[in-house]
Amino acid sequence: MLKVKDEHVLANVDYASYQPKVSKINEMIEKNEGAGNDFTGWVKYPETFDKVEFENIKKYAKVVRDNYEVLVVCGIGGSYLGARAALEALQGLKRNDKLEIIFLGQTFSSDYIFDVLSYLENKNFAINVISKSGTTTETAIAFRLVKELLERKVGKVKAQKAIFATTDPKKGALRELSTNEGYVTFNLPGNIGGRYSVFTAVGLFPLACAGVNIDELMKGALDAEKACKNPLINKNPAYKYAVLRDYFYNHKKGVEMFVSYEPKLTQLGEWFKQLFGESEGKDGKGLLPDSATFSTDLHSLGQYVQDGTKQLFETILYVKHPNNRVVIPHDDANLDGLNYLENKDLEFVNEKAFLGTLEAHTKTGNVPNIIIEVEKMDEYNLGYLFYFFMKTCAMSAYLLKVNPFNQPGVEVYKKNMFHLLGKKGY
């Protein structure tokens, strides 16, 4: 559950004037008649998802947890960011579990890949390779390397049992390889694109392996699905947020800065940037999604937000209650002058930092702030949030009159790179 608060947006947004447009787009989404409608499988997915596969995900996650020390998750973009964001949001930055999760396949960096492969030399590891197309170069190179290491360490037969592939149900290079090698496979349904896939096995299998309660995640998603199909802007948090975004886009704000006060939500900012950036940034249009983690970045970007070019608005994801308490102790010498805070929770300090910054950025800096308020960060609330952002994104892109589900621009660098690499046909 969440609230979208507009008390600090420094504008009188005329929601009523947006209602006819929003109702029309909502109907278009419901009837699946919008641009890119062959990629809208995610809209009703929290109710329609394959329950048999869901149980299989849990079954094989237990196999991984019971038999391996490390799971290497190999994917990029939509086949990577959701699982990583969720893992950090739910289990923090210092996770200490019997199964370690390492992400690979999201870079060509020889130093990073070398480090991971060297680390894995002495580890008992499994692999979850995730690619809808099966031909994404970053993922394919990393998978080839890590698969070769695994086969060398344990032999081909044991390696085949330790490789789990998530890919298109019918087609693609990874599907073909998995069939040939007999890997356990999970589906990324044909009608769901990468950045909308976190509720499929793309996100769920690594998360279940990490011990995340995926039932609760899906419950949150289902409740968000119900709340976010209401056509009325004042009853639908996703549409209210989409209208605010559109309003700022049309009032000379070209940049949306997604802000949280939790370092464990930094990767959620990365997921956010991909979702909105790839969905809206086309045809010469779209807000630039940026992200920051406060108060850390108040000591870097904070200056720009306060005093720099007036081109941005902030969207604050504020989690009201942390999962853990830390109390500031008394110190006899008090040389740091902090005894006025003794016995206070860090939650109290973080909240005051948020409130002080809100006032500074809005009242002094004249930077509009949208606040998305969540009670706490757990599986249910995260599932709710993921779905809420995806529905916001679809509505926002349709308000902009762009297709939310394609990414034609991404192909340009690939073509140039393939040409320079000497790939046949480029």
Residues classed as catalytic: 278, 299, 414
Residue 41 binding ligand PA5, by CB under 6 A: no
Please report whether residue 131 would count as binding ligand PA5 according to CB under 6 A. yes
289 scored as a contact of ligand PA5 (CB under 6 A): no
Collapsing DSSP states into helix, strand and coil, what is residue 43?
coil
Please report which helix (H) or strand (E) contains residue 156, including its range: helix 156-161
Q: Which is nearer to ligand PA5, 357 or 407 (CB)?
A: 407
Q: Which of 19, 37, 133, 306 binds ligand PA5 (CB under 6 A)?
A: 133
Based on the shown chain and the rule CB under 6 A, indicate whether residue 193 belongs to the binding site for ligand PA5.
Answer: yes
- Say how many CA atoms lie within 13 Å of 124 toward its Cβ: 10
If one asks whether residue 191 binds ligand PA5 (CB under 6 A), the answer comes out as no
Among 139, 291, 315, 369, binds ligand PA5 (CB under 6 A): 139
Given 136, 200, 266, 369, the residue binding ligand PA5 (CB under 6 A): 136
Q: What is the Cβ-side half-sphere exposure of residue 204, based on CA atoms within 13 angstroms?
A: 28
φ, ψ (nearest 5 deg) of residue 80: -150, -45
In the chain, what is the greatest distance between 2 CA atoms, to the nearest angstrom? Answer: 73
187 binds ligand PA5 (CB under 6 A): no
In terms of CB distance, is 75 or 302 closer to ligand PA5?
75
CB closer to ligand PA5 out of 56 and 133 = 133
237 contacts 15 by C-beta, under 8 angstroms: no
β-strands 2-5, 312-321 pairing: unpaired
The residue behind tokens 């299998």 is: 205
* Nearest to ligand PA5 of 166, 260 (CB atom): 166
Residue 118 CB, nearest approach to ligand PA5 (Å):
25
- 131 vs 266, beta carbon nearer ligand PA5: 131
Token pair of 335 as six digits: 């040389």
| Residue placing its CB nearer to ligand PA5 in the complex, 183 or 261 | 183
- Among residue numbers 331 through 370, which ones bind ligand PA5 (CB under 6 A)? none
Q: Hey, what amino acid is at 260?
A: S
Nearer to ligand PA5, 193 or 220 (CB): 193
Near ligand PA5 by CB under 6 A: residue from 46, 194, 206, 220: 194
CA–CA gap between residue 206 and residue 72 (Å, rounded): 9
Q: Closer to ligand PA5 at the Cβ: 178 or 369?
A: 178
CA geometry: angle 88, 110, 151, nearest 5 deg: 80
Candidate list 26, 40, 79, 381; residue touching ligand PA5; CB under 6 A: 79
Q: Which of 40, 60, 116, 132 binds ligand PA5 (CB under 6 A)?
A: 132
Note whether 142 binds ligand PA5 by CB under 6 A.
Answer: no
- Give phi and psi for 353, each to the nearest 5: -60, -45
Interface with ligand PA5 includes 189 (CB under 6 A)?
A: no
Q: Rounded to the nearest whole angstrom, what is the least distance from the CB of residue 185 to ligand PA5 in the complex? A: 14
By CB under 6 A, is residue 195 in contact with ligand PA5? yes
Alpha helices by DSSP H, listed for 71-130, are 81-91, 110-120
296-323 per-residue burial string, b: 16 or more CB within 10 A, e: under 16: ebbeebbeebeeeeeebbbbbbbbeebe
Residue in 34, 41, 46, 78 binding ligand PA5, rule: CB under 6 A: 78
Return the number of other C-beta atoms located less than 10 Å from residue 66's C-beta. Answer: 9
Handedness of CA 246, 252, 256, 257 (dihedral sign): negative
CA separation, residue 160 to residues 60, 92, 242, 317 (Å)? 14, 31, 45, 42
The interface region with ligand PA5, picked from 76-84, 88-96, 250-258, 357-365 by CB under 6 A, is: 76-84
Binding segment (CB under 6 A) for ligand PA5, from list 9-17, 187-195, 288-296, 341-349: 187-195
- Residue 84 as a binder of ligand PA5 (CB under 6 A): the answer is no
Residue closest to ligand PA5, measured at CB: 194
Question: If binding is defined by CB under 6 A, does position 404 make contact with ligand PA5?
Answer: no
Among candidate residues 179, 84, 151, the one with its CA nearest the CA of residue 386: 84
Which positions lie near ligand PA5, rule CB under 6 A? Answer: 76-79, 131-133, 136, 139, 193-195, 278, 407
